Structure 1
Amino acid sequence: MATIPQLQAVLDTLKLAERLKFELRHSYTSSGRQESVAEHTWRMALMAVLIEPYLTQTVDMAKLLKLIIIHDLVEAEAGDIPVLDVIRNPDLRLVKQQREGQAIDNLRHQLGDPLGQEVYTLWYEFEEKDTYEAKVANALDKLEVQLQHNHADLSTWEEIEYDLSYKMDRHVGFDTTLQQLKQLIEDEADQKLKLAGIDTDEVKQRALSL
């Protein structure tokens, strides 16, 4: 049975996590507003539930959902540094790593053992992407981002995001189901760009240099 201090630590963490409901990401919704980190994480979890029966390997579903839910928890403290900002300024990658590393360390101490250590270990498992569950979680993370872009008005996209629409292969190569899902999402993006009069062959060629 949990102790009062343990439960208080859980409540303190949930209070911190509430920030994810208003920590905004670069992506926009189809209604025209920016999405929150919590909304991104929720749909990643739903994607995992819906795609699990079709994955080519047996997946530890409890672990997969934990990886998804915990991974962005650090952004409640560290904030979200968009991928586009990192591409434009590679020095931000180290800043992001340091902030998030400190945030997950703080969470480990706040929750105490053994729960804090479990959360800490799961976060780094996602980061290292060595296990099948971590690879699936990472793939869903990238696919959900593109899916959200597909739903949003093209005016909310930056031009580099045209190129990134064709850069998801490296995240799904380990699983044929995820490769097929990636292709469907990429095809949606391709159609969206073509309808806007954008030369997608040129975009694909440019994407090769990224």
Structure 2
Amino acid sequence: MQTDNLLKQVNFIKEIDKLKYIQRKTKLFNSDRNENDAEHSWHLAMMAIVLAEHSNRSIDLLKVLKMVLIHDIVEIDAGDTFIYDTVKNHKNTDEELVAARRIFGMLPKEQAEDLIAIWQEFEEGVTDEAKFARSMDRFEPLLQNVSNNGGTWKEFNVPYQKVYEKKQVIEKGAASIWEYAEQLLNESVNNGILLKNTD
């Protein structure tokens, strides 16, 4: 006989399949195909495992993995907001909190509360785990855009200054990765795939 917990968990598992249909603006490496949120989350989890040694501080890797795997689940309801969107603020946390409560709320109470707390910790970006997780979240699309000859930077005419400002979050979690990322940004300017200004 199935327990009530199992049925709730299976329903949640079915619900999060929708993450595979949420399209991001960024494209896969050296590709014309848009990445979906599930692919993005998987890639961040692998990056966190591989790059953990570069975290500024000692981290609980399992918590980081939970963060990167669940951080975009709210987009099933709230949709993906492009980080460089000039109309909608990327920090649409009120809308996303409603989504978090609905989707994670499908789980048994203790699990739901745990995942909502981890999601909020990621959003706040204060703990060492959240800083590192957010570093991964900003680093992956940077690598994608470089591989795609400017990618979304070119497509949406995003200037260097705005990219730099958004990507600087990487430094809070992984200074050595930020040093490398900064170098990539400067090379992108030199290669003409990222504009220094829009004038």
The alignment's TM-score, normalised by the length of structure 2, stands at: 0.85
Instruction: Identify if the C-alpha distance between structure 1 residues 31 and 94 changes in structure 2 by more than 3 Å, giving closer, same or farther.
Output: closer
Which residue is 2:164 aligned to?
Answer: 166
Q: 2:19 aligned with 1:20, yes or no?
A: yes
CA shift at 1:46, angstroms?
A: 1.1
Q: Deviations over 1:17-60 (max 9, x none)?
A: 11221210011121211111111111111111011123342211
Identity %: 25
Which residue is 1:72 aligned to?
Answer: 72
Amino acid of the residue matched to residue 102 of structure 1? V
Count of residues in Structure 1 that have an aligned counterpart in Structure 2:
195
Q: Which structure 2 segments of 5+ residues have no match?
A: none
Of 103, 109, 113, 2:105 maps to: 109
Q: Is the 1:126–1:134 contact (alpha carbons within 8 Å) kept by the matching residues of 2?
A: yes
Which residue is 2:8 aligned to?
Answer: 9
Amino acid of the residue matched to residue 166 of structure 1? Y
Instruction: Identify if the C-alpha distance between structure 1 residues 82 and 94 changes in structure 2 by more than 3 Å, giving closer, same or farther.
Output: closer
Which residue is 2:62 aligned to?
Answer: 62
Q: How does 1:1-210 map to 2 (within 5 A)?
A: 4-29=3-28, 30-85=30-85, 88-89=86-87, 92-93=88-89, 96-154=92-150, 156=152, 157=154, 158-160=156-158, 162-168=160-166, 170-175=168-173, 178-196=174-192, 202-203=196-197
Instruction: Identify if the C-alpha distance between structure 1 residues 69 and 94 changes in structure 2 by more than 3 Å, giving closer, same or farther.
Output: closer
Q: Which structure 1 segments of 5+ residues have no match?
A: none
SS of the equivalent of 1:160 reads: coil
SS of the equivalent of 2:102 reads: helix
The alignment's TM-score, normalised by the length of structure 1, stands at: 0.81
Cα distance in 2 for partners of 1:72, 1:63 equals 15
Cα distance in 1 for partners of 2:20, 2:144 equals 17
SS of the equivalent of 1:32 reads: coil
Amino acid of the residue matched to residue 54 of structure 1? H
CA shift at 1:135, angstroms?
A: 1.0
Cα distance in 1 for partners of 2:64, 2:183 equals 27
CA shift at 1:185, angstroms?
A: 2.5
Q: Is the 1:16–1:77 contact (alpha carbons within 8 Å) kept by the matching residues of 2?
A: no
Q: Is the 2:150–2:193 contact (alpha carbons within 8 Å) kept by the matching residues of 1?
A: no
Cα distance in 1 for partners of 2:42, 2:122 equals 17
